[in-house]
Amino acid sequence: MHSDTLSEVARLLSQSSRVLFVTGAGISADSGLPTYRGVGGIYDSGITEHGMTIEEALSGDTFQRYPELTWKHIMRIEAACRGARYNAAHEAIANLERHLPEVWVLTQNVDGFHHAAGSSKVIEIHGNIRHLTCTACRYRTRIDGYEGLDALPRCPHCESVIRPQVVLFGEELPMAAVLQMHAQISQGFDLVVMVGTTALFPYIAEPALAAKQRGIPTVEINPGGSELTPLMDYAITARAAEALPALWERVREAVT
C-alpha cells in the first residue's frame, strides 16, 4: 500500500460529510468466505452433480421448479461458510460511521457482516442469507445458521416452501433496496469508495460513475483492480482487511 495515497484518502474521509462504501465479495474474503466455485472444490468444474452450472442451480427459475435442488446448494454453501464472522475491514467501516457525519454502505454481499460489525446505514442490494421468508404468506424470520433446517424448509403457518431473502440468479432486485439506493445517490456524496468488487453489474458501478460525472472523488480498494480502476481518482492495491483499518487509523488521528 502506498502511504501517500492512504494519507490523501484518509484526509478526504475526515473532511467528508457523506461517504458511500460500495462493497463486494473481496471485503469478506478475509473472513474465509468462499466463492460459489471455491466451496471446497465442489463447483470448480463449473457443473454440479445435477448437470447444471451453479448459476442455474441457484436461479429463480430452478427454485420455482425444483426448490429442493436449489435449497441443497444453498445449504451446502451456507455450511461451507458456517462459523465465519466479520473482519477488520467491516469493523473499520463501522468505526468510520461512528466518527463521521454520515456513512452509507451499499453491499452485494448477503452475509450480513456489515450489520453484525455495527454499521447501521446498510443497503443489502442482494438480500441477506439469514433472513427467511415464506413464498406464500407473510411469514418472516431471522436465523443464525441453517443447522436443523429440513432439506426443504416449510412455513410453520401455511406449510408452503420458505426461502432465503436473497436475489437468486435471474431474479429482480428488491424494489425497496433499489429505491433506497437511488434516493441516497440522488442526494449526493462527498466521497465514493469501491471495496473488493469488480463492479460488473451496472447498478454497482452506478454510484462511482455518477460521482465522476459530478466531480466527486472516487476511490477503489482492490488487490487485483477492475474495469473501473482507470476511472478512479485513487486506487489502493491491497486487501480490504489491510487498507480499511489503515485508513481508519489515519482518520481517527485526524478527528480525535
The answer to whether 128 and 110 have CB atoms below 8 angstroms apart is yes
Beta strands in 27-144 (DSSP E): 102-107, 122-124, 127-134, 140-142
Res. 35 pLDDT band, cuts 50 70 90: low
Can you tell me the mean pLDDT for 155-173? 96
Asked if the model's pLDDT at residue 143 lies above 60, the reply is yes
Kindly list the catalytic residues. Answer: 126
What architecture does CATH give domain 3-32+85-126+173-255?
A: 3-Layer(aba) Sandwich (3.40)
What percent of the chain has a predicted confidence (pLDDT) above 70?
93
CA distances (Å), origin 40, targets 36, 113, 149, 199: 10, 22, 22, 25
Average pLDDT for 27-51? 66
pLDDT of residue 18 exceeding 70, the answer is yes
Please state, in angstroms and as integers, the Cα–Cα distance from residue 150 to each residue in 15, 21, 71, 72, following that order: 51, 37, 10, 10
- Cβ–Cβ under 8 Å, residues 72 and 146: no
pLDDT at residue number 224: 87
pLDDT exceeds 80 at position 164: yes
Handedness of CA 202, 123, 23, 17 (dihedral sign): positive
The pTM (predicted TM-score) of the whole model is 0.92
Strands (E), 29-153: 102-107, 122-124, 127-134, 140-142
Q: Among 7, 21, 72, which residue's Cα sits nearest to residue 194?
A: 21
For 105, the 3-state DSSP assignment is strand
Question: With contact defined as beta carbons under 8 Å apart, do 230 and 222 qualify?
Answer: no
Smallest CA-to-CA distance from 98 within 207, 244, 218, 255 is with 255
CA distances (Å), origin 155, targets 7, 13, 41, 141:
52, 45, 32, 10
> In this structure, what DSSP letter does residue 1 have?
-
Contact of 1 with 237, CB cutoff 8 Å = yes
Name the pLDDT band for 46 (thresholds 50, 70, 90): low
